[in-house]
Structure 1
Amino acid sequence: MAEKDLQYVLDWIAIQELAAEYGQAIDVGKDTGDWRRWENVFTPQVTADYSRFMEGEPMRFNRAQMPELARAALRSFTRVQHSTANSVRIHFKTSTQAEVMAYAEVSHFFPLGGIQQEWTIVARYTFDVEKGEEGWRIRKVLLDPIHYRGNPMGLEMVNGKQLVRVKEE
């Protein structure tokens, strides 16, 4: 998309909105249990590559499975907040495909010993997006951690470690 006409601008805005919606929709899903917004950011088939962040390899899902992936990763947290940078880099490959890079700080909150804890990841998201009948949607997501801060137990919790209360006798 070399020339920057009105359609370019409309697509650029729609993709900016999509990058922000990815984070806001997962936060709403965690808060309310309604994951429809988050599911809607994806194409019918999606590749989720969180391998630089969590254990494992990139995974392929249909978008209806994406909420379960999020629920499992976030189950130990009481709240999550994605703060996506307002400077998102978009490289249009064609009029219907683009690569998007967006930086985000994602704060995860959890209680430990009656004290509210925070663990934050600063990361770069790279999205492969495509434009179809539903508009722009994410076909592939890659999460690349840059920095962590706060209680390191947060990373262990994302990887499945559970906090267990032991009753004293």
Structure 2
Amino acid sequence: MREKDTQYVLDWIAIQELVAEYGQAIDFGKDTGDWSRWANVFTPQLTADYSRFMGGEPIHITREQAAEYGRVAVSAFSRVQHATATTIRIHFKNQTQAQVMAYAEVAHYFTLGGVQQEWTIVARYTHDVVKTAEGWRIEKVLLDPVHYRGNPLGLEFVQGKRLA
């Protein structure tokens, strides 16, 4: 366990901000088309494990590919909103590595037949983070769904289905 000195507190705050930025940067990317903020939360190479959510296997990609992956995943929605828990659990492995668990509620909005729809996922994120020259960055992300609510078509949209 790390000594809880000033550097510990600074790292803890930086990781808290990184986890909040993960979700807010997706929302920003959807709203503006600028996905550079989301790419910036990651290390240059990362493992994205959305297998519990999307099926398949974890993927090893660049941060730029992650930004494109996020853009495509939310492209069918008019808006998205990530509400990440303000209390997260950080387990420091050493001075430059930690594992973070955070819960999030992510609302996805779309229109169907002129009627506003919502699909929401409640999930636990596990992030393996490392301290780099750029600051703390996510090296691996695991998304573990806990609950879904709303129009289930939203899940199909995330998985790539589109209406004709």
TM over 0.5: yes
TM-score tier (shorter) = over 0.9
RMSD: 0.7
> 1:77-88, aligned counterparts within 5 Å?
77-88=77-88
Structure 1, gaps ≥5 residues long:
165-169
In the TM superposition, what whole-angstrom CA distance separates every residue of 1:59-97 from its partner, at most 9, and x where no partner exists?
Answer: 001111111101111111110000000011000001000
Matched, 1:118 2:123: no
Report how far residue 2 of structure 1 moved: 2.8
The one-letter code matched in structure 1 to 2:5 is D
Q: Give the Cα separation in 1 of the matches to 2:82 and 2:22.
A: 9
The one-letter code matched in structure 2 to 1:36 is S
The one-letter code matched in structure 1 to 2:142 is L
Report how far residue 100 of structure 1 moved: 0.1
Report how far residue 55 of structure 1 moved: 2.2
Q: Retained in 1: the 8 A contact 2:104–2:123?
A: yes
Runs in 1 of length 4+ with deviation above 6 angstroms? none
> Which residue of 2 is the match for residue 152 of structure 1?
152
Report how far residue 129 of structure 1 moved: 0.1
> Which residue of 2 is the match for residue 163 of structure 1?
163
What TM-score, normalized to structure 1?
Answer: 0.95
Report how far residue 161 of structure 1 moved: 0.9
Q: Give the Cα separation in 2 of the matches to 1:7 and 1:73.
A: 37
Matched, 1:28 2:28: yes
Q: Give the Cα separation in 1 of the matches to 2:57 and 2:2.
A: 35
The one-letter code matched in structure 2 to 1:49 is D
> What is the number of equivalent residue pairs in this alignment?
164
Q: Retained in 2: the 8 A contact 1:55–1:159?
A: no
> 1:1-169, aligned counterparts within 5 Å?
1-164=1-164
Q: Give the Cα separation in 2 of the matches to 1:75 and 1:55.
A: 19
The one-letter code matched in structure 2 to 1:57 is E
Give secondary structure in 1 for the equivalent of 2:55.
Answer: coil
Structure 2, gaps ≥5 residues long:
none
Q: Give the Cα separation in 2 of the matches to 1:5 and 1:93.
A: 15
In the TM superposition, what whole-angstrom CA distance separates every residue of 1:23-57 from its partner, at most 9, and x where no partner exists?
Answer: 00010001100011100000011100000001211
Task: Provide the identity percentage.
Answer: 73
In the TM superposition, what whole-angstrom CA distance separates every residue of 1:119-142 from its partner, at most 9, and x where no partner exists?
Answer: 000000000000010000000000
